[in-house]
Amino acid sequence: MARFEAALARASARVGVIPTQHAETIAIACERATFDIPALAKEARNAGTLTIPFVSALRKQIPSEAARYLHFGATSQDVSDTGLALCLKESSQRTTELALRLGDALAVLARRHAETPMLGRTLLQPAAPIPFGWKVAMWLAPLARSLPHYRRAVAEAASLQFGGATGTLSALGMQGEAVAKELAGLLQLNAAVTWHSARDAFARLGSESAVLAGIAAKIAGDISLAMQPEVGELAEPSAPGRGGSSAMPHKRNPAACLLALEAARRAPGLASTLLNQLQSEHERGIGQWQSQFITLRELVCATASALAAMAEVVGGLQVNAQAMRDNLEGTHGLVYSEALSLRLSRADADRFVEQAAREKKHLRDVVTASAKLTGEELAQLFDVRTSFGAAPAMLKQVLADWTNARESAT
């Protein structure tokens, strides 16, 4: 907010609205100003906005001759909205860095395990075999799609709010547009048309932030399930004190995954609050924009927490390829039932699967005994790589998509 006031003074001086010497006095005072935060908070509650006591406290720190030009032509919402835009622009850089860390870690993991077989699971039940690298690529794909959308939303939200009393910059007359252009340049924000009561950019940014949190939570959920001892395929990186239990020393909890999951539980509600605030009365609403900095602060922090947690987990993820193979073998070949039904009649396939399950035999042994398929056909049918289908090509495409998304973000 102080940056806004300093830049406003300098922009106004450049256009000739206020004297240059007073503008510099104001700008220097803004850079050096100190505030009694608890007192400001109390006064803000009485005023209905932080800007009123903020400007009052700032004015007392400026020599009287220059003080009259502080906040010249602006209104409370200009200060608070632009301050929020500046904060969001800065925080979004951190969010982007965390998303890039996570995406890069996923890309490395996908390449490393492009041919590591594991059980695919649908409705929490064993399905057909898949490569673990492909599963990781399916974690990466939505991030590759969503990061560009997030970056565009950030660019749109990082806009100057400057409209004065009702949004028309009436106090500055014909010089208002020129001051706005200079002010946007000094703050390195978009010189957007006044958006006093149009809150779509913040709603869009909030929605894209919630999507990123949800992507992190999807990864966290899958890893948490695979960490269960009876599955034992994945584990978070170990560290002293991580994942312990206050009551049960034997436990190794998915502590970092928990952080992503809890953040993603909060994010949709926060994004929904921003969507609810689109209905603003006339030229300045009551109760919408006044609270958006609180909502966006919580949402930005939740998203960053989720991304940071999963970047750390994926970067040091412990993969038990043997457990993945063991779990595949533990199905006694029943995961190849789809492949079998494509080579035989559905009735024969169902009969062989039922027999294998009833007699607790490997499906391959039952089919072998039936002499319905040749040895070569059987070898191909029960070769796990045959079940990979188009997974290698999909993995390659996702990695290319991530490379493109990464380049556009950097």
Strand partners, 125: 122
- Asked if residue 199 lies in contact with residue 80, where contact means CB atoms within 8 angstroms, the answer is no
Closest CA relative to residue 139, chosen from 403, 407, 395, 406: 395
- Asked if residue 116 lies in contact with residue 133, where contact means CB atoms within 8 angstroms, the answer is yes
Q: Going by C-beta distance under 8 Å and a sequence separation of 6 or more, which residues neighbour residue 285?
A: 197, 277, 279
Closest CA relative to residue 294, chosen from 84, 89, 91: 84
Residues of the chain with CATH 1.10.40: 325-409
CATH of the domain spanning 1-72+160-194: 1.10.275.10
Residues of the chain with CATH 1.10.275.10: 1-72+160-194
Residues of the chain with CATH 1.20.200.10: 78-121+130-159+196-320
The highest-level CATH class for domain 78-121+130-159+196-320 is mainly alpha
Listed as own residue / partner, the contacts of 170-175 with beta carbons closer than 8 Å and 24 or more positions apart are 171/72, 171/73, 172/17, 172/73, 175/15, 175/16, 175/17
Q: Which amino acid is at 332?
A: H
pLDDT of residue 249: 45
Known active-site residue 284: yes
pLDDT of residue 285: 86
pLDDT of residue 240: 62
Distance between CA 204 and CA 221 in Å, rounded? 26
Q: Going by C-beta distance under 8 Å and a sequence separation of 6 or more, which residues neighbour residue 150?
A: 92, 95, 96, 99, 205, 208, 209, 211, 212
Query: Does the domain spanning 325-409 belong to CATH 1.10.40?
Result: yes
Known active-site residue 337: no
Neighbours of 97 (CB within 10 A): 16
pLDDT of residue 247: 43
Distance between CA 201 and CA 207 in Å, rounded? 10
Q: Catalytic residue among 91, 284, 305, 337, which?
A: 284
pLDDT of residue 202: 96
Mean pLDDT by 10 residues, the chain (410 residues): 98 96 97 95 91 96 93 95 96 97 98 97 95 98 97 96 93 94 97 90 97 98 96 88 48 87 96 92 86 94 98 97 96 93 90 93 93 90 92 98 94
pLDDT of residue 410: 82
Q: Catalytic residue among 245, 291, 345, 408, which?
A: 245
> Max Cα separation, the chain?
101
